[in-house]
Chain A
């Protein structure tokens, strides 16, 4: 990834389209987006106002794509877009934004601010202003195949453990399987129980599935850092594997941005519509429920709540499914205030958790989630994103709260009828 100012400016130019034009033309600097952003409400610094984070993209749009801006530029009145300026924006765009999308939901003129921050990252990454942590993760994703540096032997070791524990075979590279499962590195390393849960549920449901040894990683650092070429390359690996194995559906695991990457950005990055479907694991499980393939027994009596991962709920459209599934086993399910599409982010999405420099801030803004939890005092939290899960655990520890975290898929597997 060789970076230069010129590349950064070109990357920003490439991001300008009619949505950007309409959005910037409509902003009246009302500041309501600040009240919707946990990085502002929990750490009130005016520069963290979401719309301010898009300033590099706005300058490019104004100077290059508006009549008045072009005249201004000719007269030498344009504000500079140089390394100093972009450097000032690096922390705003990467450390103080989890791309959670809440600002886009409240903007009175309808600006999708999150989309524009995501676009701004393209310019910052290309000009060499991305955080070290994300650059490292992206390099590992490209060269090793996983942002955490996990190679196939590590996955195979986990799989052999799972096979030994369950007596079930984990199907690798099976051509013609209906479903191809992707995994996040976090699941492989920290939550192999997820693979175990899938094996049990899919066996009971009587469907064929497989994992590709060539493309098992679901996460996409290219999306987080904002380098479209790399994001496309990582997507293409999955497309090639899915086509090779002739699967009907690719399953995105319990990971937020992976779903955004493969389901919504994927075909646009690859430049063609997929000839297979992409579904989040919760969508698949809910389909099983509807088809009567999920036989559940026993109820959880403790008070449960669900943390909506932003990219799955607000930005991804999977909101009903987790509730349908939780109702299968929960006796006492309570929603957090503003749950669903207006839920507050945990604070670690959008690459924030891969960026060590942002550690202090992400724990500070966790106060927002703490406030939400304090209102309902649940016995346990269910989520469907291993990144949210790890950070929630971190945050709860930081604030001395003892609430266990549960994976929805894993909890469901525990309640399968014998």
Chain B
């Protein structure tokens, strides 16, 4: 298989397979959750589940000041690499062209040097996050193979994307193919790993807020 043929396979059939697994997987995971069902609360309500739930979806993004003091590194590093991922995935001009191909519409991109800077910051932060995970007593204890695997799957597209953009080492088609392949790995693993939190956290926060809101407490 030539370099170009490989790129075409990665871009074509392989991408379709990865996207299918990604979408089907997410549907399966949500079905798994919703089919479990939830009993109606028979206690007399003191507040609204809906208001509490919606509020917590938003408010859980902003820790209270004491929690911030106690978990500063986790919160700051978490914010930085998530923001970096968001910007590099959704505001890099070539990515937007791809989304336009898929969805039929695009949106304004950020200047390439800005995206590049965010990618570098994200990579550095993710490395710091890994070191923290390996050193912190609690995180070391809690972490399973999956946690490290998920870390690897997250940082790979950033690194391969950075290398592909700066054309380091190999020829452009190969670098691009490797980058796309790393994204496909991420897509395939996504629904069946902790990466799924990107979607289910909305539901989890809603339940948390609803349970509290019903009792008249804002959680």
Contacts and interface: CB of A to CB of B under 8 A. Distances in A.
A293 to B, nearest CB: 22
A155 interface: no
A266 to B, nearest CB: 7
Contacts of B209: 110
B208 A29 contact: no
Contacts of A25: 29, 33, 196-197, 200, 204
B32 to A, nearest CB: 6
Contacts of B203: 22, 26
Interface stretch (A32-40, A162-170, A299-307): A32-40
B207 to A, nearest CB: 5
B200 A342 contact: no
A27 interface: yes
Given A35-B70, A112-B207, A26 B200 contact: yes
B219 A317 contact: no
B168 to A, nearest CB: 31
A31 B139 contact: yes
A277 to B, nearest CB: 7
Interface in A276-320: 277-278, 313-317, 319
Interface residues of A, number: 63
Among A16, A27, A29, A263, residue most surrounded by chain B Cβ atoms (within 10 Å): A29
A270 B141 CA distance: 40
A107 interface: yes
A316 B43 CA distance: 12
A44 interface: yes
Contacts of A68: 192
B46 A65 contact: no
Interface string B61-78: 101101100110011001
Interface stretch (B83-91, B142-150, B175-183): B142-150
Interface in B194-219: 194, 196-197, 200-201, 203-209, 211-212, 215-219
B32 A23 contact: no
Nearest to A111: B204
Contact of B42 (A36, A115, A273): A273
27 contacts: A19-B211, A22-B33, A25-B33, A25-B196, A26-B201, A27-B194, A28-B197, A30-B78, A32-B74, A35-B71, A44-B137, A65-B36, A67-B32, A104-B208, A108-B201, A109-B60, A109-B197, A109-B200, A109-B201, A109-B204, A110-B208, A111-B208, A268-B41, A274-B44, A277-B44, A315-B217, A341-B218
Interface of A: 16-23, 25-32, 34-36, 40, 44, 46-47, 49, 51-52, 65-68, 104-112, 115, 263-268, 270-274, 277-278, 313-317, 319, 337-338, 341-342
Given A110-B57, A317-B217, 14 more contacts: A17-B37, A18-B33, A23-B204, A26-B200, A29-B144, A30-B78, A34-B138, A273-B42, A273-B43, A273-B44, A274-B44, A314-B217, A317-B47, A317-B216
